[in-house]
A and B are shown apart, each in its own frame.
Chain A
Amino acid sequence: EAGVAQSPRYKIIEKRQSVAFWCNPISGHATLYWYQQILGQGPKLLIQFQNNGVVDDSQLPKDRFSAERLKGVDSTLKIQPAKLEDSAVYLCASSPDAWSDEKLFFGSGTQLSVL
């Protein structure tokens, strides 16, 4: 089966610019996650969707970050305006449903460098 697809693979922008990342989860997966992974750290959950509804966005810096999953399938994460500290790998993950025994399938991520 096809895995979680993310694009772009790399992105370099200057601070105060905007950027968007795209994620297409595994077909049929109801739950979609966006994680931020700063170099040397573990993934930090930004937002969790169940179908097209938001389950948790408590860690999302809402003054600059936004995310949507309009049709309950693919999702976009946007940063506007970007700051230097946003430099990180942005990982998208999906799971069949939001159950404790469901494993997460991760995409390869988008590596963002903010100069």
Chain B
Amino acid sequence: QQPVQSPQAVILREGEDAVINCSSSKALYSVHWYRQKHGEAPIFLMILLKGGEQKGHDKISASFNEKKQQSSLYLTASQLSYSGTYFCGTEGVDSSYKLIFGSGTRLLVRP
């Protein structure tokens, strides 16, 4: 089943923060986050595994709440380069490495 992402779209000023959420009705083993710019391939951001810790690099981090089957992506002090569509991909505990992607969250960072 496809994970649900929220919000569907968000507009920020440069330097502002944003949170993107991803929730599933199934028990999850892992959550992947990717960013895609218009006309380009999705680019990997990070993976969170069941039992793992919150991850992050630079000013982008993510958490995984196993009990709620939810993950959140945190973008702090956003930069113009953060603009794009963010997708979460979820792997169920019974789905053998099969990633199901959400519909995406469109992020626009303005100067």
CA gap between A45 and B42 in the complex, in Å: 14
Do the beta carbons of B44 and A105 come within 8 Å of each other?
yes
Task: Give the complex CA separation of A91 and B49 in angstroms.
Answer: 24
- Please indicate which of the listed interface residues A55, A104, A105 has the most CB atoms of chain B within 10 Å of its own CB: A104
The 8 A CB mask of B81-111 against A (1 = contact, 0 = none) is: 0000001010100001111111110000000
Contact with A along B35-48 (1 / 0, CB 8 A): 00000111110010
The reply to whether the CB of B29 lies closer than 8 angstroms to some CB of chain A is yes
Asked whether B97 lies within 8 Å of A103 as measured between CB atoms, the reply is no
Q: Which residues of A contact B34 (CB under 8 A)?
A: 104, 106
Number of interface residues of B (CB under 8 A): 24
Contact across chains for A109 and B99 when beta carbons are under 8 A apart = no
Q: Beyond A42-B87, A103-B32, is A91–B98 a contact (Cβ under 8 Å)?
A: no
Interface residue B30 (Cβ < 8 Å from any Cβ of A): yes
Interface of B is mostly: strand
When distances are taken between beta carbons in the complex, the residues of chain B under 8 Å from A44 are 101
Interface status of B2 (Cβ within 8 A of chain A): yes
Complexed CA–CA distance, A4 and B43 (Å)? 12
Give the residue name and chain of the B residue nearest to A100 (CB): B30
Counting contact residues on chain A (CB < 8 A from B), the size range is 20 to 34
- Cβ A56 vs Cβ B98 within 8 A: yes
Chain A residues with Cβ below 8 Å from B99 are 45, 104
- Cβ-based interface call for A24 (8 A): no
**A42 contact from B91, B96, B98, B103, Cβ within 8 A:** B103
Tell me the complex Cα distance, A56–B40, Å: 25
B43 to chain A, nearest CB (A): 8
The 8 Å CB contact of A104, one of B40, B44, B96, is B44
Which residues of B sit under 8 angstroms from A45, Cβ to Cβ? 98-101
Chain A contacts with B in 52-78, Cβ cutoff 8 A? 55-56
**Between-chain CB contacts (< 8 Å), 7 pairs:** A35-B101, A42-B102, A101-B47, A102-B97, A104-B32, A104-B42, A106-B34
Which B residues are within 8 Å of any A CB, using their own CB? 2, 29-30, 32, 34, 40-44, 47, 49, 87, 89, 91, 96-104
